Amino acid sequence: MGSFSVAIKTFLPPALVSPRERHPRVRTTVLAGRAEEMLAGVRVSELDLAVVEGWEELPTALPAGLTAFELLSDVADVADGALSVRHPLVGLGVVELDRLANTP
């Protein structure tokens, strides 16, 4: 998984507890980086998921073959996730972190 540093320090750690408890043999690696790098990693299957920032007036551009869903938003920030268009959660619109955490 790739993400921006604020997400790694705030909402991702609690979101990763549940899947680790259910699947203790599965290891999750989280890499910090710029959105472009993380999205490129998803596009070429080096990463399963990219958590990127986006703003209404400046949305993050997605490479072909990826689709976005909203993870959370507040007045100042929106966190978007990007998945391969083949991922089972594609098409759900807003995806709750619990739902994402329960997806293998």
Closest residue by Cα to residue 98 from 27, 89, 90, 45: 89
Provide the residue ranges of all domains of the chain, joining segments of one domain with +: 2-101
Under the banding of pLDDT at 50, 70 and 90, the label for residue 104 is low
The yes-or-no verdict on residue 31 having pLDDT over 50 is yes
Residue 47: its pLDDT value, please?
94
Identify residue 99 by its one-letter amino acid code: R
Which tens digits make up the pLDDT trace of 81-98? 667 777 777 777 677 767
Q: What is the pTM of this model?
A: 0.64
Characterise 98 by phi-psi region: left (phi > 0), alpha (psi -120 to 50), beta (else): alpha
Query: What mean pLDDT, rounded, does the chain reach?
Result: 81
Architecture of domain 2-101: 3-Layer(aba) Sandwich (3.40)
pLDDT of residue 76: 46
